[in-house]
Amino acid sequence: MKKYSIILIVLSMLVGFNSARSEALNSPRSSADASTYDYLKGKQGIACNKTTSEKRLSSVSLNFNYVYRDFGAENGAPVIVSGSFNTLYAKGRLLYYALKLVPSVVNSETSEVKAVYPDYLDLLINGQSIGEYKESDNTTSNGGRLVGFTDKNFGLSHLLIQNGDLDIVVRFSFDKGAHYNDVKIFSITSANDASLTKSQFRECILEMIDQLREDISQRRAGN
């Protein structure tokens, strides 16, 4: 008899859980979140932007804007993930990389957008973390996170320009130890757009590496 009572209690709990879940999914908040998500989804994308100084390439940024619904930590609210992966070079210095990430939770009912600092943040290039190159770690003025990487032995640059496909993934979570989210940069947009942006990004890095090598040769020659 005791065994059947336990079964009935478990079944009752499951029914209650499914009922609550159904009510949540069909609530006005859930409908608003779904509509907001659909609208924001159409705004996501990636872009490659470069900056020159004295007719030389000084930086290239791989900018991205990604949207997902967070059912784990934010009850299905839309989350906008804005960020950039940057390569910078100034004459006489090493190549420097920087990852900026600003995840923002959207309140669909009030249109409020609140930035959330990602306690855990990593970037993977073709499945390999670049954490070993980290040099600095700061909070941005708008509540995001900015991590800097120094490429002293060209290992990081090699990962980006080596033969084969290029896969860049930003991995983050709001709390350390919590379930992480993967933003696959070149899967945000269409295959054609991703391929073009990838090529532009790689070409800019190659150009800056050539500039660095030229500067090193000039220094060795005493110029």
Give residue 146's pLDDT.
98
Q: Distances from the Cα of 6 to the Cαs of 2, 17, 93, 202, in angstroms? A: 6, 17, 69, 61
Which tens digits make up the pLDDT trace of 185-200? 999 999 999 999 999 9
DSSP secondary structure string for all residues of 145-174: EEEEEE-TTSHHHHHHHSSS---EEEEEES
Strands (E) located in the chain = 45-53, 56-70, 77-88, 96-107, 112-115, 120-125, 128-129, 134-139, 145-150, 168-173, 181-184
Confidence of residue 218 (pLDDT cuts 50, 70, 90): confident
β pairing state of 112-115 and 45-53: unpaired
Amino acid identity of residue 78, one-letter, is P
Give residue 29's pLDDT.
65
Q: Where are the domains of the chain?
A: 2-220
Q: What is the mean pLDDT of residues 145-172?
A: 93
Amino acid identity of residue 69, one-letter, is R
At 36, which helix (H) or strand (E)? Answer: helix 28-41
Q: What is the mean pLDDT of residues 119-144?
A: 96
Residue 53: how many other CB atoms lie within 10 Å? 11
Q: What is the mean pLDDT of the chain?
A: 87
Which tens digits make up the pLDDT trace of 10-65? 334 333 434 434 444 455 568 899 999 999 999 999 999 999 998 899 999 999 99
Give residue 152's pLDDT.
85
pTM of the complete model beyond 0.85: no
Which residues pair with residue 169 across a beta bridge?
Answer: 124, 184
Give residue 27's pLDDT.
54
**Residue predicted with more confidence, 163 or 6:** 163
At 215, which helix (H) or strand (E)? Answer: helix 191-220
